[in-house]
Structure 1
Amino acid sequence: MTPPVDPSLNRRKLRLALRQARERAGLSQREAAERIEWSQSKLIRVETGTVSVSVSDLRALLSLYAITEPDQVHELEEAARGSKGPSWWSTYHDVVTPQFAQYLGYESAATSLHTYHPIVVPGHLQTRAYAEALLAPRGLSPERVGRIVDLRMERQRRMLDGPRRPGVTFVLDEAAVRRRIGGARVLGEQLGQLLDFGARDDVAVRVLPFEAGAHYSTLGSFVLLGFPDDDDLLYLEHAAGSMTGGEDLELLARYQECFQEITALALDDTESLDLIDRIKEDLGTR
């Protein structure tokens, strides 16, 4: 049975459709809000996909924007009905910041994900034991560690084993696949999982060798999300996390160029998996 569409995806569908309809109507957000007697902040929340949309509110906007085609109206009304309720990550509200929750909404809708990690294996690909060992030095309670790891495992399952799998490319610095997080046994298990994921047709695991030298993102990891119907999005991974898309096209373009550069410098798929396999063998673990 096909699982229900996450409410965040319906909110995103409405966000794009309603923003584009307003722009076609030649109205600013302030003008549109005034005409239907809303606050501008309410319209902004609808157009950023941070709130659900009632069918009655949707119909007011459709009337304002002169959207009357029956099939389109029906599709958007169904999206409005499906925009209510919590997203899958709401269960982890105690360990998910508002910024990261917004990012997860975008990630769930992306059709491609390109990411670079200079220090450790990214959460998308981590084993449970590796994730636990990575969190151990932070001094968190066992309960909180368990919650964070559960979130990572569910995110991994949804992205790599779910029905809406995006095309993904992971470029890992050689340091990330050599750093002995958790010791030889834990790292060996993690490298085995990288080999398993890298063998899939829709997952690319590439290694940037030490010999590649310096590049634009030597000091930090980043994620580029691609969409067929919206601007690409850049997520810079640090303590608070930050996102940018159409509001900073220069920075987005710089990281897109950076990823192309990193990919060109990285070992190809076969060479990368061969290196990971050799490192795993050198650990002396099964």
Structure 2
Amino acid sequence: MPAGGRPTVRSRRLGTALRRYRQDAKLDQPQAAEVIASSQARISRMESGQATPRVIEVRLLLDAYGVTDPQVRGKLEDLAKHSKKRGWWLEYAAYLRPDYLDHIALEDDAIRIRQWQPVLVPGLLQTTAYAEAVIAGGPKTLDPEQVSRLVKVRQRRQARILEDGVPYSAILWEAAIEHPLAGAQTHREQLSAILEIGKRDNISVQVLPFSVGALAAAVSGFSAFSFDSESAVEAVTMDDLMSSSVMESANDLAVYASSYDLLSSAALTPEASAELIAGKLRRWEEEAS
């Protein structure tokens, strides 16, 4: 059983891939079980993420499924090796929802992250003051200690793009830039931080302008993750009031990958986005003087 008594994101990703390759090879679960001299129940548990296969089992199954690509095999073997790996976020497991832990695990594994956010500045770009304001101002009443803990988690998450240099692309609706949700001064400091962080080679920030029309309202905020060099979207998370949902089916991923491309094409370029943000900051400074 994966750590924590529930399927981990890594074990689910591995299981989903093994099921897909088995089906592509036109084999059923009993036939796959024969390959590793085990039971259909074990294959079922492996494919659902409830059980973690050993590396040798992964190799035997991929051989039987005709999967020869060394990159694919290496990636799945790594998932088998590290599916129980304890991430830093488990220090906070007692205080965080399991679905949020799944999101962080995806973020930590990803080699490319893309986000669309129509309302707030994404967490990976938030300053400490902005994060404190939006967390404390949410619909759930939190005491100062809980807010502080969640802000620390958000700061730890930011290491993926600020320290590890993972390629990160964010698209924000102009509303998230124009309308302060965290106090005027905090908002201005947040926008200044976006301008600074956007200068990094691995980070791209685009603004979807009001002039685009209904597109912003048609697509809810989401995060898309890629785990190999081809940068295909391999997992998507969406947040609502009570939870985060992880989507991994091929049909869902194709829709969100297409939606992100559509939003990116409609948004201003990173350079024009920076000019828009800088212009708003200048306007507010002039109004305040």
Relative to the length of structure 2, the TM-score reads: 0.75
Q: CA 1:52–1:159 in structure 2 vs 1: closer, same or farther (change >3 Å)?
A: farther
Q: CA 1:281–1:14 in structure 2 vs 1: closer, same or farther (change >3 Å)?
A: same
Q: 1:245 and 2:256 equivalent?
A: no
Q: 1:156 and 2:158 equivalent?
A: yes
| RMSD, aligned α-carbons | 3.6
Q: Match of 1:136?
A: 136
Gaps of 5+ in 2: 1-7
Q: CA 1:17–1:258 in structure 2 vs 1: closer, same or farther (change >3 Å)?
A: closer
- Give the letter for the 2:147 counterpart: V
Hey, what's the Cα distance between the residues in 2 that align with 1:81 and 1:220?
A: 35
Hey, what's the Cα distance between the residues in 2 that align with 1:156 and 1:44?
A: 36
Displacement after TM superposition at 1:219 (Å): 5.9
Q: Secondary structure at the match of 2:113?
A: strand
Q: Match of 2:4?
A: none
Contact 2:161 2:168 in 1 (8 A): no
Displacement after TM superposition at 1:60 (Å): 5.1
Q: CA 1:85–1:269 in structure 2 vs 1: closer, same or farther (change >3 Å)?
A: closer
- 1:34-183 alignment runs, 5 A limit: 36-38=37-39, 40=41, 42-47=42-47, 52-53=52-53, 55=54, 58-59=55-56, 62=59, 80-137=80-137, 138-162=140-164, 165=166, 167-183=167-183
Q: 236-245 or 117-126, which moves further after superposition?
A: 236-245
Displacement after TM superposition at 1:221 (Å): 0.7
Hey, what's the Cα distance between the residues in 1 that align with 2:126 and 2:136?
A: 15
Q: CA 1:136–1:32 in structure 2 vs 1: closer, same or farther (change >3 Å)?
A: same
Q: CA 1:65–1:157 in structure 2 vs 1: closer, same or farther (change >3 Å)?
A: closer
Hey, what's the Cα distance between the residues in 1 that align with 2:143 and 2:197?
A: 30
- Give the letter for the 2:264 counterpart: T
Hey, what's the Cα distance between the residues in 2 that align with 1:91 and 1:31?
A: 40
Q: 152-161 or 232-241, which moves further after superposition?
A: 232-241
Q: CA 1:143–1:34 in structure 2 vs 1: closer, same or farther (change >3 Å)?
A: farther
Contact 2:222 2:239 in 1 (8 A): yes
Q: Match of 2:271?
A: 270
Gaps of 5+ in 1: 1-7
How many equivalent pairs are there? Answer: 268
- Give the letter for the 1:234 counterpart: V
Q: 258-267 or 189-198, which moves further after superposition?
A: 258-267
Hey, what's the Cα distance between the residues in 1 that align with 2:154 and 2:211?
A: 31
Q: Match of 1:5?
A: none
- Give the letter for the 2:109 counterpart: A
Hey, what's the Cα distance between the residues in 2 that align with 1:77 and 1:258?
A: 31
Hey, what's the Cα distance between the residues in 2 that align with 1:23 and 1:148?
A: 41
Deviations 1:173-220 (A, max 9, x none): 111012223312211221111011211122111111111110165462
Q: Match of 2:235?
A: 233
Q: Match of 1:261?
A: 262
Contact 1:25 1:65 in 2 (8 A): no
Hey, what's the Cα distance between the residues in 1 that align with 2:245 and 2:146?
A: 23
Hey, what's the Cα distance between the residues in 1 that align with 2:215 and 2:185?
A: 32
Question: Percent of pairs identical after alignment?
Answer: 31
Displacement after TM superposition at 1:237 (Å): 2.2
Q: CA 1:88–1:48 in structure 2 vs 1: closer, same or farther (change >3 Å)?
A: farther
- Give the letter for the 1:245 counterpart: E
Q: Match of 2:3?
A: none
Displacement after TM superposition at 1:157 (Å): 1.1
